[in-house]
Structure 1
């Protein structure tokens, strides 16, 4: 045991891992690749809270026979063909690489060679398991886990933690663990979203009649069960309105990507966008503050599918605002979270 008098003389710091994680992606756009991804995703008890045996029958007998082909075609419209991967994978890798470089350049006050950044997906590849094993193999005695979800939900943040806990449960020599909390109301995040929106609208050359803040949906039953996601989404929107000086009717909250027949959080994004155009709105902008990186739900669902809804109903100008991604503003958000959560470790 080290005497207290010698603690201040120690110069060797433990190796610390920073593990970034997002939702996930199929490895390709073909049927079997998308099926594998959807099977893993939709088998998660946190994602689908339904009677198990009934749901597995529906999933395997119905959903996985047709949905992979349809979603594969959607993925094909946004696929990064140079790297043969989805944009989400490309962006998450870049976020990890840029964070590692920022740490080397003195993000934490001085050059830190004992902080290693890696990344893994909750579903698909590269996995949280493989990333954790890499960090442990490199001697990381401590790991900061950063789920890339600004707002907390059991179906996103919690299941990401579940997966990591499962991995750690298999280790005899476990590293110490910290989990970064959601950052839905942090100044750096709100400033970044507001700045990104302002810059994009300036380049688009029009003032929107309405700004739609579209968040990923969830079953209404999840909110009733106590999930804080809905409240946190609205808190983010409230802070954005204040930062931008907009009245409530100029920046509205909607929820997208509903699945199945159950009632989900409302208002629905697609129905709202159709209604806005039908009521005479000619110019709208859509932001997706619940996503840290662009993916199928933002690029294809918002930028293609919902844009078509708007134009078909008489809309004239539609701007999809990119997620923060690995932009300088986006990296400042990630860096702020990491710097705060590593306090006392490095």
Structure 2
């Protein structure tokens, strides 16, 4: 049975969050590493580890955020996406829709957002992670905390979840549209190589059944196909490695070194980030650009995140509308399961 279009819908956009001032950097880091989805140790040990890591990483993190104004731009970027999404969803007059933002590791966090949603008194809540690819460390973590927050504030509205959309046509089209002019410019320096870069994960997380890497590979393949460039040279790679564990690969920095050896221009395309933040504005734009110059890469370009590109926002709107009309609690871009059998971390495994 398909549900009727609700009169009032709250769309909750999940994102990572980021420090909004230098003094917020240490507590932000603590919140990040205290997440049991990031460090799976028992609570007392995880608390000590999170404190230790936050203290140790505060100074380099301050230096990183200092390069982009002392804070993360993620909230402002997400607010712009929320406003753009509301404009599309409210244009057809099918009930009132209002987007809210729930950050995982800094404000506005789930409890304060859940209270605001309760005050809005929606008929339906649609939870929409701004992570196109599902991971137990991102979307699943945000969903777990949201459930706790909703229970805490007494929010009882009917709820739908958009779990993942790694090849959603609007997302893919927006990415391809941003790549084409950068590719044309890079072509003046040789045959470009496109590096589809995503935030990495420890191998043991993927080995435990997390579908993130498989979905990132699907995203890269879909965008490469949409570009429709004969003989396109591309690779899916991973960045932002921290800690001593072995991570999935190939690593983005290793691919930059290989491009230097091959003397080919490169474009780095963020495929798991949909908003600009430190991983794009510092790690890619500054650190990887410097590495490319050092390794003799003839041309380097960072392709922007999809942000408020109309095709991407239109894709998000379609996902929300699909959830509003769906009788399933959790829907992927195709409503059903996207992950092959065997991925125990697939959100649709018991749907």
Shorter-chain TM-score bucket reads 0.7 to 0.9
Match of 1:47? Answer: 38
Match of 1:312? Answer: 294
Question: Contact 1:188 / 1:336 at 8 angstroms: preserved in 2?
Answer: no
Question: Contact 1:192 / 1:333 at 8 angstroms: preserved in 2?
Answer: no
| SS in structure 1 of the partner of residue 105 of structure 2 | strand
Deviations 1:305-339 (CA, angstroms, capped at 9, x unpaired): 01110101112211100010012233122222222
1:46-65 counterparts in 2 under 5 A?
A: 46-50=37-41, 52-61=43-52, 63-65=53-55
Structure 1 residue 66 and structure 2 residue 52: aligned?
Answer: no
Change (3 A) 1:245 1:173: closer
Q: What stretches of structure 1 of length at least 5 have no aligned partner?
A: 1-9
Structure 1 residue 300 and structure 2 residue 278: aligned?
Answer: no
Match of 2:99? Answer: 117
Structure 1 residue 333 and structure 2 residue 315: aligned?
Answer: yes
Distance 1:209 1:303 in 2: 17
Match of 1:223? Answer: 206
Structure 1 residue 100 and structure 2 residue 86: aligned?
Answer: yes
| SS in structure 1 of the partner of residue 194 of structure 2 | strand
Match of 1:187? Answer: 169
1:188-337 counterparts in 2 under 5 A?
A: 188-202=170-184, 206=188, 208-245=191-228, 250-277=233-260, 279-337=261-319
CA apart distance, 1:125: 0.9
CA apart distance, 1:50: 4.1
1:15-164 counterparts in 2 under 5 A?
A: 15-28=8-21, 30=22, 32-50=23-41, 52-61=43-52, 63-79=53-69, 86-106=72-92, 111-164=93-146
Change (3 A) 1:51 1:167: closer
Aligned residues: 323
Question: Contact 2:253 / 2:288 at 8 angstroms: preserved in 1?
Answer: yes
CA apart distance, 1:122: 1.2
| SS in structure 2 of the partner of residue 25 of structure 1 | coil
Deviations 1:208-261 (CA, angstroms, capped at 9, x unpaired): 521101110000000110001111111111222222235787110111101100
Distance 2:226 2:6 in 1: 40
Distance 2:233 2:39 in 1: 34
Question: Contact 1:286 / 1:321 at 8 angstroms: preserved in 2?
Answer: yes
Question: Contact 1:19 / 1:144 at 8 angstroms: preserved in 2?
Answer: yes
Distance 2:25 2:274 in 1: 22
Is the radius of gyration larger for structure 1 or structure 2? 1
Distance 1:308 1:118 in 2: 37
| SS in structure 2 of the partner of residue 154 of structure 1 | coil
Change (3 A) 1:13 1:65: closer
Deviations 1:3-44 (CA, angstroms, capped at 9, x unpaired): xxxxxxx9x95422111121111121x2x3100000001110
Question: Contact 2:64 / 2:282 at 8 angstroms: preserved in 1?
Answer: yes
CA apart distance, 1:289: 0.8
**For structure 1, which segment, 191-200 or 291-300, has the greater mean C-alpha deviation from structure 2 after superposition?**
191-200
CA apart distance, 1:140: 1.2
| SS in structure 1 of the partner of residue 98 of structure 2 | strand
CA apart distance, 1:275: 2.6
Question: Contact 2:170 / 2:313 at 8 angstroms: preserved in 1?
Answer: no
CA apart distance, 1:143: 0.4
Distance 1:262 1:173 in 2: 39
Give the TM-score, by structure 2 length: 0.85
CA apart distance, 1:52: 5.0
Change (3 A) 1:321 1:43: same
